[in-house]
A and B are shown apart, each in its own frame.
Chain A
Amino acid sequence: EVQLVESGGGLVKPGGSLRLSCAASGFSFSTSTMTWVRQAPGKGLEWVSCIDSGSSHIFSADSVKGRFTISRDNAKNSLYLEMNNLRAEDTAVYYCVTGDANVWGQGTMVTVSS
């Protein structure tokens, strides 16, 4: 079964940092582009960042450039999102998604509040 399981969410103060992880199984993670998508409470979907299979090409939304870093470890079938200088507007459920957006994890909630 194809599965993506996110972890690492939580409550953090503005300006703080958090690292999200996504454990992948059931498909060829090492050959798959991977993506993070987020959804603020009661709002729509926002594409955040993606990384190709070899970590050669990385793209990010302007809203997170310079603050969030996507990375992966193919040996561990894992995707990461390092989030720094967090703001209230980063509060959202963060989804780990395959590059073709066919498979989504259950999401992990990040709340930025003092």
Chain B
Amino acid sequence: DAGVIQSPRHEVTEMGQEVTLRCKPISGHDYLFWYRQTMMRGLELLIYFNNNVPIDDSGMPEDRFSAKMPNASFSTLKIQPSEPRDSAVYFCASSLASYNEKLFFGSGTQLSVL
């Protein structure tokens, strides 16, 4: 299996622009997570899905952020409009059902908002 695949690897955009980050989880995994990593705040959970359904989005910073999972093999995280404080590394991760299963992380998207 190719693992969790994220795209793009790097994104540079200007303030106010829309940004879309993409994720393909490992086939057969029931859970998908979006995390954000910054020096100041560490690794923060933004939202997670179970069987394509959003379960907990309490970590989404504000209404500018939205996430979808239209099918079991694809998810997007959208920021509209983007702001410089959104600059971070965004990770997607997936896991099998069950709470004590390990997470498989993608390589992340480095987002820079100028």
Co-assembled chains A and B:
no
- A-side residues, CB < 8 A to B, are none
